[in-house]
Chains A and B, each alone.
Chain A
Amino acid sequence: DAGVTQSPTHLIKTRGQHVTLRCSPISGHKSVSWYQQVLGQGPQFIFQYYEKEERGRGNFPDRFSARQFPNYSSELNVNALLLGDSALYLCASSPGWGYEQYFGPGTRLTVT
């Protein structure tokens, strides 16, 4: 069975631009969460979507938004990129509430 997939693998953007990251969960999983990991730190929770509705949001500015599609895949959007947005963005899927989460390989975003 395929695990969580994310695209693209790497991305370089300029300050002020917009970026869209994509995630496909494990087949049968209905919950997708997004995390940001900056160098030397543990991942930080950004959003969780379950059954296409936002169910949780971490302490991130409104420049960050996300959505989940009918097939349970998800997009993370970041507007007006800042240098500090450079990080590894991780997507996790789980069957539902309170279950074990499985992570994708991540998208490494560099903002110059």
Chain B
Amino acid sequence: GIQVEQSPPDLILQEGANSTLRCNFSDSVNNLQWFHQNPWGQLINLFYIPSGTKQNGRLSATTVATERYSLLYISSSQTTDSGVYFCAVGEGGGADGLTFGKGTHLIIQP
């Protein structure tokens, strides 16, 4: 099956800093989503971005499907941005289940 690798696994930043999280995947996809998991386990949808670029406030994402990677940018980090960020991809075809990476654990210090 498809492999998803996220980097870095851990990231510690000061409030106000910018960050870039990367997601590499091993095959073509028809679905790519970025999530933020809060301390209670809830997965919050950030972007649905199988290709192209999107922006939502301080967050933006870019997926280059031909090169099989996606980037999540967080600007002017706030302590509330802390948590685990997951990239998940869907291959399409016969099944629609998402394959998740191991996540990036982000800590924003005041």
Known: A42-B102, A42-B103, A101-B33. A48 touches B96 (CB 8 A): yes
**How many positions in chain A have a CB within 8 Å of any CB in the partner chain?**
30
Query: What count of chain B residues pass the 8 Å CB interface test?
Result: 24
What would be 5 A-B contacts, judged by CB atoms less than 8 Å apart? A33-B98, A42-B102, A45-B95, A48-B97, A50-B96
Q: A44 to chain B: which residues have CB within 8 Å? A: 100
Structural contact, A106 and B41, CB atoms closer than 8 A? yes
- Give Cα distance in the complex from A3 to B99, angstroms: 22
Q: Please give, as numbers and ranges, the residues of chain B lying within 8 Å of A56 by CB-CB distance.
A: 94-97
Main secondary structure of the interface of A (DSSP, over half): strand
Contact A42 B86 (CB under 8 A): yes
A61 contacts partner chain B, Cβ-Cβ < 8 Å: no
